[in-house]
Homo-oligomer: A and B are copies of this chain.
Amino acid sequence: MKTISEIRPGAYFDSVVLMQLQRSLAELHGVDDAGVVMATPANLELLADAELLTKEGKEAQPDDLLIVVRAEKEKDAAAAIEQVDDLLQKRRSRTSHEFRPHSLEAAAKQLPEADWVLISVPGRYAAGVAQEALDLGKHVFLYSDNVSLEDEIELKTVGLERGLLVMGPDCGTAIVNGVGLGFANRLRRGNIGLVGASGTGLQAITTQIHNSGGGVSQAIGTGGRDLKAKVGGMTAMQALDLLSRDDETDVIVLVSKPPDSTVATRLIGQAMACGKPVVVDFIGYPPPAHQIGNLHFATGLSEAGDLAVRLSNRDKGTKSKDGSGRSGYVRGLFSGGTLAYEAMLALQPFLTPLYSNVPISEHQLIDDPLNSEKHSILDLGEDIFTVGRLHPMMDNDLRLRRMRQEAADQETSMILFDVVLGEGSHADPTAELAEEINSIKKDRDDIIWGAIVVGTDEDPQGTQKQIERLSESGVEVYRSTQSAATFIAENFTNDEYFSGKPVEIEGLYKPLAAINVGLESFHDSLKEQGAESVHVEWRPPAGGNEDLMDILAKMRS
């Protein structure tokens, strides 16, 4: 085997071109394998793994184009290398002969109506280009990966201040005014808007929407890290706010891999407040319920799509939440352990901080079950409460005491409890409970009382009678944990989360015009879809020399 290489200093090509050239070389007569890369340290490692790294190659610089061919016979390898220019030429002639600016600034002058910049240059250059785009007042679609978290936070903070979207980094897909950016399926227009921290997630759902007869207004990607704690869902909140205000969007879909729990609470609060039906698919995050108020929790991408279509065919009945959440805390006093646990599950996306003696995550474990803390949900059937006592489903005593205790705490805003009827349970539980509530009301009439009643029309206590007695004492009665959670979510969720400059809606409905920096195929795709696009003939600043780049960056700032 003979391996021959060639270095072309300072020649820059995008990765599609490199890949095509590499494939063409590998297919030539007698050639065993070929490599065509920009000679970054990572790429040199890959070549080494493929046994394609020559002595000469090791000396190449990151801004050098390195071409390597391995063949059985040296003459075949040499013949292949000789064809490089022809192969590149052949490719060139296929692309059009439009004028191509060499900088973002020049592109912006050439196509001033372009509001969007698609960036797919290698990761280490991407943040710089994105910053330039923001400085020109453009929204950014940032396909590039390997962008640092710090850069992402910085870019998104700027975007938030200026009302500009930063979709990405590592954003695979978006659909703006019917035009797909990056990877995107061709779809019917419609009244479903999407926000997604997941590229193929968005593609799978939008495809399902189309295949089920629905259509998409806008689909906004955020990049996969947007819902992590450090980024805090900046783009998702911006996009959710935008779609909330968008008259063309009747139903919103929110998709992400498991988000940080605080970010999830914030986004879900914002979604609840927007009043429109929102389908939430946080893949791998245990859904609090199938539906809570206007929020519908889907299990899987295809169900999310189906659900969105079903909701989009309904009459518009959007109502906005009034006001921004009651202050004070919810205190849950449960006799049923599973009801307490289910209440935790249903309330954790809405109430924070939330503590319990039956926590779902460790950080929710209450220090002292005998004293509530912030929002608290307690299973009073746990051993600590029942040793030497009857179960609270048989004996109300413990709950009556605990109700008085909670009411004595001025921070208590709502007391939630369950009443489990049937064989074996207390013969008339609400007699004592209602009496206690009436007595507490004399001191505190500001507490909201809520009861989840589990019972049938055949139960010996008389479910209807029990419910009526509670209602007469001013207790809100629910027949499931989900109904209780809906009430609480609607009354206690803070909706004043989003505080950036709103993104202008009008921008979504102008004919799409964009500037493309990086993969030429994205430019071609925009043109094919009938959008205006200018492709920048981009090269790494300072020829890819990082020291020089640093100096240039410092000079600029």
Contacts and interface: CB of A to CB of B under 8 A. Distances in A.
18 contacts: A16-B394, A19-B397, A146-B383, A180-B422, A180-B424, A182-B423, A183-B425, A185-B421, A186-B458, A186-B459, A200-B338, A201-B338, A210-B458, A211-B456, A286-B287, A289-B299, A301-B338, A423-B525
A23 interface: yes
B300 A480 contact: yes
Interface stretch (A37-45, A95-103, A229-237): A37-45
A284 to B, nearest CB: 5
A62 B502 CA distance: 70
Contacts of A341: 257, 283-284
Nearest to A46: B388
Nearest to A37: B388
A458 B420 contact: no
A39 to B, nearest CB: 10
Nearest to A255: B338
Contacts of A184: 422-424
Given A207-B456, A255-B338, 7 more contacts: A19-B389, A200-B338, A211-B456, A257-B338, A284-B286, A285-B286, A303-B482
A386 interface: yes
A336 B255 CA distance: 15
Nearest to A292: B300
A204 B255 CA distance: 30
Interface in A163-208: 172-173, 180, 182-188, 198-201, 203-204, 207-208
A19 B390 contact: yes
Interface in A388-423: 388-391, 393-395, 397, 418, 420-423
Contact of A336 (B187, B203, B391, B418): B203
How many monomers of this protein are in the complex?
A: 2
A210 B422 CA distance: 13
B338 A454 contact: no
A512 interface: no
A303 B485 CA distance: 14
B454 A422 contact: no
A102 B325 CA distance: 60
Contacts of A298: 290
A40 B183 CA distance: 69
A204 B339 contact: yes
B397 A23 contact: yes
Interface residues of A, number: 93
A491 interface: no
A459 B85 CA distance: 34
Contacts of A391: 172
A336 B283 CA distance: 14
A269 B207 CA distance: 31
Contacts of A501: none
A93 to B, nearest CB: 19
Nearest to A179: B423
B339 A200 contact: yes
B204 A338 contact: yes
A283 B338 contact: yes
Interface string A346-366: 100000000000001000000
Given A198-B337, A337-B199, A390-B16, A424 B300 contact: no
A42, A284, A457 — most chain B CB neighbours (10 Å):
A284
4 closest residue pairs by CB, A with B: A200-B336, A185-B422, A186-B458, A201-B338
A297, A335, A390, A529 — most chain B CB neighbours (10 Å):
A390
A184 B423 CA distance: 5
Interface in A314-354: 335-339, 341-342, 345-346
A50 B529 CA distance: 77
A460 interface: yes
Interface in A203-237: 203-204, 207-208, 210-211, 224
A1 interface: no
